[in-house]
Amino acid sequence: MWGNRVRARRADTEAAFHATGSDDFPPGGAEREKTASATGDVMSTSTTPSLVELIARADERGLAAAALACLDRCLPLLAPEATDQLRPLWLGVARGGTGWADRLAEARAAVEAARTAPADAEEAALVRRMLDAAPGAWAREPLREWADTCSLAALELHHRLCAAPSPGLAEVLDRCRTGGPQGAGPLADGELRRQTRVLEILADGAAGGLRRALDLSAEGRRVLQAVLSRRARTA
């Protein structure tokens, strides 16, 4: 049943992508470096950019999609029965931010209507923070702040699902986003890879980037659902 819901949600969103004619992103490479330099972003000389660097380089659609993908993967922690409540926002990303504020209000209302008593109030609060942080303005700086907030919250949630919160959590998350997943745990490691891959796909500018980001989000949500099911059985 869950697989059918995901496929239906993806099919509806893909129809919107086709309606726009293209979901290609603006050229990357030197142009993104030029933008980053102009805004004062600090880039590593490494040939493999960190997650923090990828967020700093992303454009509006890349940032919005990255943040939304994090929220989408974690939504079952806030609304366990949620299915397509975030579809208005995916459509907004596909259409380059057209009607973004209205779509955001629609998605928030849909999530609120789907909420039930969460298994863990702290986890639900983190997901709620991700949704509340979504900006009403389609602009690079507020979207980058949102992407940053969602990235940190999603990594923390995945870390919490396989390890008890620790005083050094902030350091672990910082290390994840700037260098590697050492000490984060297998679930956070997987979440880090998905976050990185979404940003890489969108920065590449290849056709179908948003559809691939949606696929990664659906994959991550299935992983989280399986973890929650196991936790419920052993509680």
**C-alpha distances out from residue 37 to 65, 138, 144, 162, 235, Å:** 23, 21, 16, 38, 51
* Cα(18)–Cα(9) distance, integer angstroms: 15
All residue ranges of the chain with pLDDT < 50 are: 1-10, 14, 16-46
Specify the pLDDT at position 173.
85
CA distance 151 to 29: 23
- Please, are residues 159 and 184 in contact by the beta-carbon 8 Å criterion? yes
At position 129, the amino acid (one-letter code) is R
| pLDDT value for 5 | 47
Kindly report, residue by residue over 78-122, the tens digit of the pLDDT: 988 888 899 999 999 999 999 999 999 999 999 999 887 666 788
Q: What local confidence, expressed as pLDDT, does residue 171 receive? A: 84
Q: At what angle do helices 2-20 and 209-234 cross, to 10 degrees?
A: 160
pTM over 0.75: yes
pLDDT attached to residue 64: 97
Structural contact between residues 172 and 184, judged by C-beta atoms closer than 8 angstroms: yes
